[in-house]
Structure 1
Amino acid sequence: MVPTRAKIYLSSLLALLTLAGSMILLQNQHASGPVFGPESGKPPAAAKAPLSPPKAQHDMPAPALSTRLVEYHMDVRLEPEENKLKGKQTLTWTHPGKKAVTELYFHLYPNAFASKNTTFMKESGGKLRSDIMPEDGFGAMTITGIKTTEGLSLIHRLQYVQPDDGNIHDQTLVKLRLPRPVKGGESITLIMEFEVDMPKIFARMGTAGDFVMAGQWFPKVSVYEPAGTRGQKEEGWNLHQYHGNSEFYSDFGIYSVRIRVPEDYIVAATGFPTKAAAKSNGEKIYHFYADDVHDFAWAASPDFIAAEEAFSAPGVPGVRIKLYLDPLHQHLKDRYFDAAKASLKAYSKWFGSYPYSTLSIVVPPEAGNGAGGMEYPTLVTAFGASSDSPGYELERTVIHEIGHQYFYGMIANNEFEEAWLDEAFTSYAEEKVMELEYGLTSNTAAQAASITKPAPLAQESWKYGSHEQYARNVYTRGKLLLQDIERQVGESVMHKIMLTYAKAYRFKHPATSDFQSVVEQVTGQSWQDYFDHYVYGDDMADVAVQHIEVKNTGTEEKPSYTSTVTLVNQGGPVTDIPVTFAFEDGAKVEKVWDGSSEKTTFKITSGSPLIWAMTDPEYTLVLENKHINNYLKAGMDPKVVTRWNLSITKLVETLFGTLSW
């Protein structure tokens, strides 16, 4: 996902990285049984035709690239008059572990918007990036039925759980007690019916007028991790609620989805259409299929301007790039296509081939901006069309989101617990494409200076507190860390690291420790100390000129001065630190400190007195966020320097604290 900072520029300082158990059993209004979900207060509208999930998968399924532990067959209808989705799904889940399980868990993400008391709303304050939830923008999911293939109803076995914070008002995770245990390697099939009262868009999913973004819109089974996955010593469910900062984590599988919309609507979706859309009884019916993906999203609007182009390149054997444009951006289709092609060409070279046959780009209307800048398998969203002549944020957003197809999509880390493995890696890749294709680079020194509260990268997303701190660490600090590794090992070795990691862990759900292992494998050396400080710890680089002493050691006839300069490392480990010494006669001496100790002293004899010294004058140490102490003038009182540095640091913290990411 792209943070709001993609739109924030401080022209004189900053070119910022572009991018944020309570169970209620209600009496069902249908004759089929009880309803399980937040109270909606609305009677359901009469269905136009019964929902029936497609039973057969694609005629010629591709060879499996992933474990395919889940298989969803879904039928969903959009009811725009009620602002509602009505769905039915047949889910088959295969147990990847060894121990028998007696329950399944499902993510009910739309329930994050059920009230102001959900965990998501309390943590986010009803805001994501710069988009704010309207007062009447609530939404929720209701499970109206769940049964086995034998017809046994299980709805009374559902129970909301809140493993992260115990918030009984949060109903984004539900437990289903099974009628019989499922052993390792066995599968279970469930038939589920559900309804979603769509929220008004401010956080990824919802509606804005006739525009619909259906992301995280169906009951999604949680991930059961076998021992060894992401370094887990014991197998078990990975269970988290929907938080203000966190995104998602799911297993790979097969999706066969029928989508019913009013006949004037156009639908964009994950995967590819198995046949042309058909009209029936005032509806248009689409059928999409996707395999080796871990989610399925779709968007719909009667206003979409659709365009499509074929593209192939080394590593991209053939893909249909599909645009679904807001009318305001109809004339910009070539810019979208060019950005998409540049992304696919570069990423397939750097991270391996793009294995899917489609890539869809949805451009929401301005009112639907909350759905913009988001990634789903084979489908991404640009930011809302608010201007008919946008700047390079158009390309940057598309390039960023397509980068997610690799890290979020194929490598598929746990975004609840280690979001940096997606967001930082995607931001790192995005920067490279922007420089390669458009000649644009970011002000890394200003980006580092904005990180006034560094925090560990390998931690749960909600532990960062504000979305601002989440973005500055997970996106910016993580990206800078990758750039710093590249600074140390060189571009060609870094390319080998990234390609090795991307290929080794494609469809594998890796952890931070897996990436560290690849870095150590490729470079042939330990990086434990570095990762302890910068990844598992909260350090930034902080190299300072601590003291300068200049002594006149010559004579009037033969001037000579001995300058002693003390440098100190007050932050995490740093290597190859450039230092500049400037003298009164205009001469400069360049040195390099290897950074192997916490403190070092340089002694320089010259015919002219030293007037100042500075570490990292070109700002190549991308993880350094306190540049003010890099410079010291000879003869300055250390107490004055300390007070000055503290004042400037406070000013920087105040300045960047006013920015909304």
Structure 2
Amino acid sequence: MKKLGLLILSMFFISSAFLAQESKTKQGHTNQNKFKQLKELLPTPNLQRTASGAPGIKYTQQKVDYTMDILLDDAKTRIYGDETITYHNNSDDTLPYLWVQLDQNMRAADSKTPDIQTSRIPSKTSKTRFNKAYIETPFDGGFKIESVKNIDGSNLSHTINQTMMRINLAQPLASGEKFQFKIKWWYNINNHRTQGGRSGYEHFTENRNNNYVIAQFYPRMCVYDNVEGWQNDQFWGRSEFALEFGDFTVNITTPEDHMLGATGILQNPEEVFTRKELKRLEKAKKTFDKPVIIRTQKEAEKIEKTKSKKTKTWKFVAKNVRDYAFASSRKFIFDAMAVDINGKTVMAQSLYSKEANPLYGDHSTRAVAQTLKTYSRYTFDYPYHKAISVDGQMGMEYPQICFNPGRPNPDGTYSDRTKYRMIKVTIHEVGHNFFPMIVNSDERQWTWMDEGLNSYMEMLAELDYDPNFPITRGYPKNIVRYMAGDQSRIAPIMSKGDHVYSFGSNAYGKPATALWILRETIMGKELFDHAFKTYAQRWKFKHPTPADFFRTMEDASGVDLDWFWRGWFYTTDVTDIGIEGVRKFYAKDATNETIEFIEDTSEGLSINKPKKAKSKYFYEITYNKPGGLVMPIIVEFTYDDGTKQKKMYPAEIWRYNDKQVTKAVHSDKQITKIVVDPELETADVDTSNNSFPRNKEDGFSKFKNKMKN
């Protein structure tokens, strides 16, 4: 009876275990395959944005025109402005109100930007920082809006919410209609060298002069589209701008002795340049091999010693641009040269103080010219008439003009590090003319769409400028440290810039690396270049989204890249592919009809090569993947005669098993070494498992025992 009870109990446990196993095997799951399509993450295609990634037949975008009179008050370091805005509602929607960006309000006394920054009391600090943080009166920044009026001069209802202003329309603006209104304003210009900022002035104690680099200086309309509606996210200082295209008529009044550069075509050169400068400008328009000096250092040094009390007005017209900026100073040296863009002459120009010479004189305008050539080759011909690099001692970009860092030592010498950094930033900022000034993505939402794509293109221009250019961002090996870092401080690329820790690595470095890997390793130059150019040409002077980029790259290349976008852009997974082990076999004639493979555990040569067989050596190589990213397996074989052979298995090799795969290899030469990713093409975060044998004890014959155990 006791034995019967034990038997029944044993059968109960066996049955329970069996049922549990049955239940486990029948339990369902969602598709977790790394190669599943992105359809659930991408928006549904429609008549405005197609499934191919191209603009649809119903695609629309708004247009905003500006007429502005600007006064630069050098004595008070202030900007005064009076603007008329014409808003064209090209959408199918009726708009009950409009939204305007007031970016300067980030610097207002009541700004919330400082409040969202964490802070601590330091153990010690400099007196300068102490005074600035605890004693000095806060800078009185921000727009001082004097009036907002209808075109007939009557007051226009409006509501200011930090860096945004809502225009309350008396009547909704119907599709196809336009609305005009006026804003009058002024603000105190910040010293960007001491107070920070994306624009402002730099003060020089010698002769008490200022270099002005002015942007975000006027109330600007927000973007309205079918993706975000109104893009009226607050400006906290990091994530940049979303802007509509339009036409600008801008009159800028400055001290008479200032040299100025700005967005747009100058309408009155004979009123603002000397005869000598006009003659030099004409020469520059025909000089394609080197910059021509328009205002020399000697002339600029003489001018900066005195301050004219008279003024002059620079008159500009800019067609189909998304923004406006200018730079002005009596200290500026001015040079220019012509650039041939597919038969069209474009002017590359630079404005810089003597403190930046000879570095800027040697390289600035040449770097501008190279950028226009390289970017035009890979995207579309540069459509504007000029591009200007300004000694602004920051890195910021605007249509046709940008502000860049870099200065030599006081004696005029400069190191390679200083030179290459200045050239790098200049190329990057000039390159922004293409992304996002023309391919006009939403910087506030998707920083990587302009910074990442531009950082990738920057690499190509740098290598064109100097084949030995020391590229620091974009090569796969250079992103490894970031990707292998603390996961709690890493965000996916598909994150808003305001919300990431390592902004530079996330928005610039990693997406640039991703594109470099696509071009150099996964797709190949021909397919990638065609797809990338297709994207740029489809979306120039339009508003693309990430989905438009992803879809176009696949549509124009015929390469399914959903697995790549998912891994690199939507996750923080890393690449780590290694060699688990290797087994060696030799073939033996078993019968007249059969060949038998026998594992060779020795380190010697295989024996009994079958008649007429080309291969003498046979191997089973098992690769593992501790990292979350699926990537191609790039493997290099070294043979006993010293020769090498490279083989790449597509990423799809991981489609059935995301952890481990085995490949059979045969050769007439004995393999002595195997290396995964020998040229560091995939941003592999751990190369300690990339070679086989890894040491003397870990030879070919050892893997069999390891597999058994």
Query: 1:520 maps to which residue?
Result: 554
After alignment, is 215-224 or 557-566 more displaced? 557-566
Aligned residue type for 1:159: I
Query: 2:457 maps to which residue?
Result: 429
Give the Cα separation in 2 of the matches to 1:67 and 1:557: 72
Instruction: Indicate whether 1:363 and 2:391 are aligned.
Output: yes
What do residues 102-137 of structure 1 show as CA deviations (whole Å, max 9, x unaligned)? 2211111111122585237735989xxxxx996567
Give the Cα separation in 1 of the matches to 2:61 and 2:400: 18
Aligned-residue identity in percent = 25
Give the Cα separation in 1 of the matches to 2:534 and 2:381: 13
Q: Does the aligned pair in 2 maintain the 1:146–1:153 contact within 8 Å?
A: yes
Q: Does the aligned pair in 2 maintain the 1:307–1:324 contact within 8 Å?
A: yes
In the TM superposition, residue 618 of structure 1 has moved relative to its aligned partner by 1.3
After alignment, is 605-614 or 249-258 more displaced? 605-614
Instruction: Indicate whether 1:489 and 2:523 are aligned.
Output: yes
Give the Cα separation in 2 of the matches to 1:94 and 1:557: 80
Give the Cα separation in 1 of the matches to 2:254 and 2:643: 74
- Inter-CA distance 71–125: structure 2 relative to 1 (3 Å threshold): farther
- Inter-CA distance 418–150: structure 2 relative to 1 (3 Å threshold): same
Query: 1:344 maps to which residue?
Result: 372
Aligned residue type for 1:448: I
Query: 2:405 maps to which residue?
Result: 383
Aligned residue type for 1:215: A
In the TM superposition, residue 627 of structure 1 has moved relative to its aligned partner by 3.2
Q: Does the aligned pair in 2 maintain the 1:68–1:254 contact within 8 Å?
A: no
Instruction: Indicate whether 1:566 and 2:566 are aligned.
Output: no
- Inter-CA distance 409–591: structure 2 relative to 1 (3 Å threshold): closer
In the TM superposition, residue 520 of structure 1 has moved relative to its aligned partner by 1.5
CA RMSD of aligned residues (A): 3.3
Give the Cα separation in 1 of the matches to 2:345 and 2:159: 44
Instruction: Indicate whether 1:270 and 2:270 are aligned.
Output: no
- Inter-CA distance 100–579: structure 2 relative to 1 (3 Å threshold): same
Query: 1:249 maps to which residue?
Result: 242
Instruction: Indicate whether 1:510 and 2:556 are aligned.
Output: no
Instruction: Indicate whether 1:463 and 2:499 are aligned.
Output: yes
Q: Does the aligned pair in 2 maintain the 1:265–1:303 contact within 8 Å?
A: yes
Give the Cα separation in 2 of the matches to 1:543 and 1:121: 44
Instruction: Indicate whether 1:173 and 2:167 are aligned.
Output: no
Give the Cα separation in 2 of the matches to 1:345 and 1:492: 19
Q: 1 or 2 for the larger relative contact order (CA 8 Å, sep ≥6)?
A: 1
Give the Cα separation in 2 of the matches to 1:618 and 1:631: 12
In the TM superposition, residue 548 of structure 1 has moved relative to its aligned partner by 5.8
Query: 2:512 maps to which residue?
Result: 479
- Inter-CA distance 626–260: structure 2 relative to 1 (3 Å threshold): farther
In the TM superposition, residue 70 of structure 1 has moved relative to its aligned partner by 0.6
- Inter-CA distance 470–515: structure 2 relative to 1 (3 Å threshold): same
In the TM superposition, residue 397 of structure 1 has moved relative to its aligned partner by 1.9
In the TM superposition, residue 243 of structure 1 has moved relative to its aligned partner by 2.6
What do residues 544-596 of structure 1 show as CA deviations (whole Å, max 9, x unaligned)? 23456789845799778997643123322212x22245689978775544441
Q: Does the aligned pair in 1 maintain the 2:492–2:570 contact within 8 Å?
A: yes
Q: Does the aligned pair in 1 maintain the 2:356–2:408 contact within 8 Å?
A: no
The secondary structure found in structure 2 opposite 1:410 is coil
In the TM superposition, residue 412 of structure 1 has moved relative to its aligned partner by 0.9
Give the Cα separation in 2 of the matches to 1:583 and 1:356: 56
Instruction: Indicate whether 1:75 and 2:136 are aligned.
Output: no
The secondary structure found in structure 2 opposite 1:349 is helix
673, 682, 685: which one aligns with 1:625: 685
The secondary structure found in structure 2 opposite 1:82 is coil
Q: Does the aligned pair in 2 maintain the 1:85–1:196 contact within 8 Å?
A: yes
The secondary structure found in structure 1 opposite 2:346 is strand
309, 320, 325: which one aligns with 2:347: 320
Give the Cα separation in 1 of the matches to 2:70 and 2:680: 53
Q: Does the aligned pair in 2 maintain the 1:549–1:634 contact within 8 Å?
A: no
In the TM superposition, residue 72 of structure 1 has moved relative to its aligned partner by 0.6
After alignment, is 340-349 or 543-552 more displaced? 543-552
Q: Does the aligned pair in 2 maintain the 1:74–1:89 contact within 8 Å?
A: yes
The secondary structure found in structure 1 opposite 2:444 is coil
What do residues 322-351 of structure 1 show as CA deviations (whole Å, max 9, x unaligned)? 221121234342422222222212222221
Give the Cα separation in 1 of the matches to 2:369 and 2:381: 13
Query: 2:49 maps to which residue?
Result: none
What do residues 575-634 of structure 1 show as CA deviations (whole Å, max 9, x unaligned)? 2x222456899787755444412221356799999886431111122x433434434625
The secondary structure found in structure 2 opposite 1:523 is coil
How do 1:406-417 and structure 2 match up within 5 A?
Answer: 406-417=434-445
After alignment, is 76-85 or 452-461 more displaced? 452-461
Q: Does the aligned pair in 2 maintain the 1:448–1:625 contact within 8 Å?
A: no
Give the Cα separation in 2 of the matches to 1:249 and 1:544: 43
Query: 1:159 maps to which residue?
Result: 160
Give the Cα separation in 1 of the matches to 2:663 and 2:340: 56
- Inter-CA distance 333–549: structure 2 relative to 1 (3 Å threshold): same
Query: 2:229 maps to which residue?
Result: 236
- Inter-CA distance 384–259: structure 2 relative to 1 (3 Å threshold): farther
174, 182, 185: which one aligns with 1:183: 174
How do 1:105-144 and structure 2 match up within 5 A?
Answer: 105-115=99-109, 118-119=112-113, 122-123=116-117, 138=139, 139-144=141-146
Instruction: Indicate whether 1:292 and 2:320 are aligned.
Output: yes
In structure 1, runs of 5+ residues without a counterpart are 1-65, 127-131, 161-170, 638-661
Query: 1:60 maps to which residue?
Result: none
Aligned residue type for 2:233: H
Aligned residue type for 2:149: K
Instruction: Indicate whether 1:212 and 2:216 are aligned.
Output: no
After alignment, is 246-255 or 352-361 more displaced? 352-361
Q: Does the aligned pair in 1 maintain the 2:635–2:675 contact within 8 Å?
A: yes
- Inter-CA distance 553–399: structure 2 relative to 1 (3 Å threshold): same
In structure 2, runs of 5+ residues without a counterpart are 1-59, 121-128, 204-209, 274-307, 586-598, 608-616, 699-709
Give the Cα separation in 1 of the matches to 2:641 and 2:272: 82
What do residues 385-434 of structure 1 show as CA deviations (whole Å, max 9, x unaligned)? 35442422222222222211111111110001112121111111111121
Q: Does the aligned pair in 1 maintain the 2:63–2:244 contact within 8 Å?
A: yes
Q: Does the aligned pair in 2 maintain the 1:326–1:385 contact within 8 Å?
A: no
Give the Cα separation in 2 of the matches to 1:117 and 1:321: 38
In the TM superposition, residue 239 of structure 1 has moved relative to its aligned partner by 1.4
Aligned residue type for 1:520: E
Query: 2:427 maps to which residue?
Result: 399
Give the Cα separation in 2 of the matches to 1:604 and 1:250: 56
The secondary structure found in structure 1 opposite 2:433 is helix
Structure 1 length normalisation: TM-score? Answer: 0.74
- Inter-CA distance 125–437: structure 2 relative to 1 (3 Å threshold): farther
Query: 1:645 maps to which residue?
Result: none
In the TM superposition, residue 184 of structure 1 has moved relative to its aligned partner by 1.4
Aligned residue type for 1:485: L
What do residues 505-545 of structure 1 show as CA deviations (whole Å, max 9, x unaligned)? 11111111111222122222432222122223333322123
- Inter-CA distance 618–384: structure 2 relative to 1 (3 Å threshold): closer
The secondary structure found in structure 2 opposite 1:77 is strand
Q: Does the aligned pair in 1 maintain the 2:635–2:674 contact within 8 Å?
A: yes
Aligned residue type for 2:545: A
Give the Cα separation in 1 of the matches to 2:268 and 2:115: 40
Give the Cα separation in 2 of the matches to 1:447 and 1:543: 17
Q: Does the aligned pair in 2 maintain the 1:143–1:194 contact within 8 Å?
A: yes
